[in-house]
Amino acid sequence: MRSAGNFTPAGKELRMARLVRHEATGPVEVKPQADSAWICQCGLSQNLPFCDGSHKLARQNDKPGKLAIYDKTRTKIVEFRDEV
């Protein structure tokens, strides 16, 4: 399975790390579906565990090589840090 991330013209995936607040304390059941279900991997969806398109914010605002720290609504970057 391949994620739908950002790629350079040479096909190398751009990795952009972020910290987002997760408050869930357990799993969510995703029942088998007739159609594909897209599970959020960026942590920015407002409809977790499903992707709602919010990953576009990461593509627009995160920076390769920096750690983006999002506010508690997972909609705004409040700080960038160098990755360690």
* SS3 call for 84: coil
Residue 51 CB, nearest approach to ligand FES (Å): 3
Q: Exposure of 4 by Cβ count < 10 A (0-12 exposed, 13-18 middle, 19+ buried)?
A: exposed
Residue number with CB closer to ligand FES (35 or 82):
35
CB-based contacts of 15: which residues, under 8 Å, 6+ apart?
A: 5, 64
Here's the x/- map for ligand FES, 11-50, by CB under 6 A: it reads as: -----------------------------xxx-xx-----
Provide the binding-site residues for ligand FES, judged by CB under 6 A.
40-42, 44-45, 51-55
